[in-house]
Amino acid sequence: MAAPLVLVLVVAVTVRAALFRSSLAEFISERVEVVSPLSSWKRVVEGLSLLDLGVSPYSGAVFHETPLIIYLFHFLIDYAELVFMITDALTAIALYFAIQDFNKVVFKKQKLLLELDQYAPDVAELIRTPMEMRYIPLKVALLQCFPQCYFSCLSDIPVSVPTHLVCPRTPLSPPAAVHTCENEEQSLLDLFLGVCHDVCGKPSGNHLPLLLPSQLLGFHPRSLWLYINVFFYTIPLAIKLKEHPIFFMFIQIAVIAIFKSYPTVGDVALYMAFFPVWNHLYRFLRNIFVLTCIIIVCSLLFPVLWHLWIYAGSANSNFFYAITLTFNVGQILLISDYFYAFLRREYYLTHGLYLTAKDGTEAMLVLK
């Protein structure tokens, strides 16, 4: 499977290079859906120039990255475009191999449970075969490369890096820990996330002030109740999904993307890249049509309402933030739909696909 992956990477790099040099670059780098105060390249450049002048980059209220980023880009500022492309390519490759490993694990587990006769007799159509799982890693790599390259590469640091740096890392360690306990071989995804976790926690130099939580955007006491959502779901999900760490990680990343203080298109694209891994759940999704419509409509309305607010002077921020809220509601419903589909499939696997009630009629599963 190396050749298609290489092809995907080559095409992605070409598209990025072309976009970087086109006139679209400036246009996209100013769009608010793509660039946020947490992930803006202009702010990184500002922080670096402040550092060069000997002033602390955190003294103004502009720079909000971790000290590690400053040091990293201090040496790489001239090769920024290349760094972005390489990081994105590495992420795609890492995801590719990680998902490949995961598929092998899933298949092995499935075989084990089949032999142990844990599955109900009529669930043959729910069992996953190697044939259908063959192209999943490639699709994941594809989905990771392309939406990101259209938006994130031009305006901000590759999302994979700051998402794991700036967002709370703690919710991601339970899934990583559970996964490690289950398998003797260390999966690449695990390693990747773990490395990020370690590297970011390291203190980075004595002459820079410690990055206090109050200096991070959004950690205002009043908004604590919103951001506590990010941590809230970790423990209940860990208890429920203790046998399915990768699905847990997917839900956790999605929850982080939804409740993050300044979400951008890159965050959404990150968890949406994982959809091919769960495409066997498609038949159990109930509201996928409505939700796709909601998400597409909101995405189209973002630039229209931004234009009306800022340029036409007629709408105001309420319209724009209403659409943001609707988009978030759509995302939340999407994630809960996937969760429901997952649980339902597990139920069917152990209890049989065609359920009958006590009097012989067809039964329906209702989520209470």
Partner 1 sequence: MGLLSDPVRRRALARLVLRLNAPLCVLSYVAGIAWFLALVFPPLTQRTYMSENAMGSTMVEEQFAGGDRARAFARDFAAHRKKSGALPVAWLERTMRSVGLEVYTQSFSRKLPFPDETHERYMVSGTNVYGILRAPRAASTESLVLTVPCGSDSTNSQAVGLLLALAAHFRGQIYWAKDIVFLVTEHDLLGTEAWLEAYHDVNVTGMQSSPLQGRAGAIQAAVALELSSDVVTSLDVAVEGLNGQLPNLDLLNLFQTFCQKGGLLCTLQGKLQPEDWTSLDGPLQGLQTLLLMVLRQASGRPHGSHGLFLRYRVEALTLRGINSFRQYKYDLVAVGKALEGMFRKLNHLLERLHQSFFLYLLPGLSRFVSIGLYMPAVGFLLLGVGLASLVAPLLISQAMGLALYVLPVLGQHVATQHFPVAEAEAVVLTLLAIYAAGLALPHNTHRVVSTQAPDRGWMALKLVALIYLALQLGCIALTNFSLGFLLATTMVPTAALAKPHGPRTLYAALLVLTSPAATLLGSLFLWRELQEAPLSLAEGWQLFLAALAQGVLEHHTYGALLFPLLSLGLYPCWLLFWNVLFWK
Please report, as ranges, the residues that interact with partner 1 according to CB under 8 A: 286-287, 293, 296-297, 300-301, 304-305, 307-308, 311-314, 333, 340, 364, 366-367
When the beta carbons of 228 and 304 are compared against partner 1, the nearer one is 304
When the beta carbons of 206 and 314 are compared against partner 1, the nearer one is 314
Q: How far is the CB of 42 from partner 1 (least distance, A)?
A: 19
Asked if residue 91 lies in contact with residue 189, where contact means CB atoms within 8 angstroms, the answer is no
DSSP 152-211: HHHHSS-THHHHHHHS-SGGGHHHHHHHHHH-SSPPHHHHHHHHHHHHHHS---SSSPP-
Judge residue 288's burial from the number of C-beta atoms within 10 Å of its C-beta, 0-12 exposed, 13-18 middle, 19 or more buried: middle
Please tell me the distance from the alpha carbon of residue 93 to that of residue 184, in angstroms, as a whole number.
22
When the beta carbons of 80 and 333 are compared against partner 1, the nearer one is 333
Asked if residue 46 lies in contact with residue 63, where contact means CB atoms within 8 angstroms, the answer is yes
> Which neighbouring-strand residues pair with 356?
362
Q: How far is the CB of 337 from partner 1 (least distance, A)?
A: 8
When the beta carbons of 111 and 307 are compared against partner 1, the nearer one is 307
Please tell me the distance from the alpha carbon of residue 42 to that of residue 155, in angstroms, as a whole number.
8
When the beta carbons of 118 and 316 are compared against partner 1, the nearer one is 316
DSSP state of 284: G
Please tell me the distance from the alpha carbon of residue 87 to that of residue 12, in angstroms, as a whole number.
12
Q: Residue 355 region, left (φ>0) first, then alpha (ψ -120 to 50), else beta?
A: beta
Q: How far is the CB of 255 from partner 1 (least distance, A)?
A: 17
Scored b (16 or more CB within 10 A) or e, 206-240 reads eeeeebeeeeeeeeeeeeeeebeebeebbeebbee
Q: How far is the CB of 200 from partner 1 (least distance, A)?
A: 37
Q: How far is the CB of 363 from partner 1 (least distance, A)?
A: 11
When the beta carbons of 59 and 279 are compared against partner 1, the nearer one is 279
When the beta carbons of 75 and 289 are compared against partner 1, the nearer one is 289
When the beta carbons of 114 and 296 are compared against partner 1, the nearer one is 296
When the beta carbons of 119 and 348 are compared against partner 1, the nearer one is 348
Which tokens sit at 323?
């659409």
Q: How far is the CB of 300 from partner 1 (least distance, A)?
A: 6
Which tokens sit at 349?
């696997």
Q: How far is the CB of 314 from partner 1 (least distance, A)?
A: 4
User: What's the distance, Cα to Cα, between the start and end of the chain in Å?
Assistant: 44
Which tokens sit at 325?
């809220």
Q: How far is the CB of 294 from partner 1 (least distance, A)?
A: 11
Q: How far is the CB of 301 from partner 1 (least distance, A)?
A: 7
